[in-house]
């Protein structure tokens, strides 16, 4: 059985199409098709439902995928184990939720490059739900997520809690609100939030639905600073972490709104598939470095850095 045929089959499963698999493997589409057909002939069974668009694996195909991943991972582990000085080679694919991208792309990546110079690190960003799916489909080796309090990553994944951070409601300085504010008072105002998948938006929507209140989206904006600027101009209310608000240029133009009955929390997680093979050590190093960065600790000693915020959410997960 040819490992190249297995790699082509895995690529089709993970990318969802012959075209995307061909681009990943730098092959022609007929070349990928031939390799998949070769594997089917070797196994004596169809691995994909035909005709079906998009491509869907058969039951045998799903089982073959799990076995195939283990085979390819074992080969990669063997290569790493036989490398000079036990150097870990190949690629580490890490997904990072938008709110954590600033923290993840600094000290954690530096630590990876220093400890594993022969390992290629590929970082992608996105909303936490889509990143979880990528890890489940083995399109990503590990992902740093931010989820609303009370929400956990998929049970099929190994999930390690990293940090948590409270979030607060802010609005324009001149916003007319009663002295004691309730969620019902805020339901009369529009909100400036991230797109669907944003942890802050999910937190708000769930709480408002639980209270039987209307949740009105006024503006969708991808970054916290943009949302703060819109809130400062009276475009709506926004959620932000105290750490980000403290260092934002808009901090003097918005007012925190105290809500005794609403204290949301965003939690950050590092998720990966249970068997990470040769990537176990790099993933653990990335987890530890990201944890220190989110907690405002020195990247080397782990001591609390005096100029860093305890935990930073950039875009709401």
> Does this chain's domain 86-162+266-294 share its CATH topology with 168-263?
yes
Q: Which pLDDT score is estimated for 298?
A: 57
Domain 168-263, classified CATH 3.40.50.300, yes or no: no
Q: Which pLDDT score is estimated for 309?
A: 35
Q: Which pLDDT score is estimated for 204?
A: 86
Helices (H), 118-159: 128-136
Domain 86-162+266-294, classified CATH 3.50.50.60, yes or no: no
pLDDT truncated to tens, each residue of the chain (317 aa)? 788 999 999 899 888 889 999 998 999 999 999 999 999 999 999 999 887 677 889 999 988 988 888 787 777 766 665 555 557 877 899 999 877 877 667 889 999 999 999 888 989 988 888 899 999 888 889 999 988 877 889 999 999 999 888 889 999 998 888 888 999 999 999 999 987 777 778 888 888 999 999 999 999 987 888 999 999 999 999 998 887 788 789 999 999 998 888 888 888 999 998 888 788 899 999 999 999 888 776 555 555 443 333 333 344 45
Q: Which pLDDT score is estimated for 178?
A: 85
Return the DSSP state at 251: G
What does each C-alpha distance from 89 to 8, 33, 73, 202, 258 come to in angstroms?
20, 28, 12, 39, 51
What is the chain's Cα-based Rg? 23
Domain ranges, ordered by start, for the chain: 3-82, 86-162+266-294, 168-263
H or E element at residue 24: helix 18-25
Q: Which pLDDT score is estimated for 103?
A: 65
Cα separation, 102 vs 228, in Å, equals 18
How is domain 3-82 classified at the CATH fold level? Arc Repressor Mutant, subunit A (1.10.10)
Q: Which pLDDT score is estimated for 114?
A: 92
Q: Which pLDDT score is estimated for 24?
A: 87
């Amino acid at each position: 059985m040819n490992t190249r045929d297995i790699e082509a089959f895995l690529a089709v499963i993970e990318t969802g199409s012959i075209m995307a698999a061909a681009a990943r493997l730098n092959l022609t589409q007929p070349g990928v098709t031939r390799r998949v057909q070769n594997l089917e002939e070797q196994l004596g069974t169809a691995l994909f439902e035909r005709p079906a668009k998009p491509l869907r694996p058969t039951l045998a195909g799903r089982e073959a995928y799990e076995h195939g991943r283990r085979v390819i991972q074992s080969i990669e582990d063997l290569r790493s184990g036989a490398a000079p000085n036990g150097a870990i080679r190949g690629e580490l694919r890490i997904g990072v939720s938008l709110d954590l991208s600033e923290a993840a792309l600094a000290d954690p990546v530096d630590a990876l490059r220093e400890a594993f110079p022969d390992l290629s690190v590929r970082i992608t960003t996105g909303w936490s739900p889509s990143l979880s799916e990528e890890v489940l489909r083995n399109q990503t080796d590990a992902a740093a997520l931010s989820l609303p309090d009370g929400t956990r990553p998929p049970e099929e994944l190994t999930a390690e809690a990293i940090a948590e951070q409270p979030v607060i409601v802010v609005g324009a300085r001149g916003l007319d609100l009663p002295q004691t504010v309730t969620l019902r008072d805020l339901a009369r105002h529009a909100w400036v939030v991230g797109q669907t998948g944003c942890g802050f938006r999910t937190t708000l929507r769930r709480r408002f639905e639980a209270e039987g209140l209307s949740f009105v989206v006024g503006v969708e904006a991808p970054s916290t600073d943009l949302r703060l600027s819109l809130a400062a101009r009276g475009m709506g209310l926004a959620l932000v972490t105290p750490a980000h608000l403290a260092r934002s240029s808009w901090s003097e133009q918005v007012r925190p709104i105290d809500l005794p009955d609403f204290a949301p929390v965003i939690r950050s997680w590092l998720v990966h598939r249970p068997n990470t093979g040769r990537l176990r050590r790099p993933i653990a190093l990335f987890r530890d470095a990201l944890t220190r960065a989110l907690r405002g600790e020195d990247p080397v000693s782990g001591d609390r850095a005096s100029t860093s915020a305890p935990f930073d959410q950039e875009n709401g997960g």
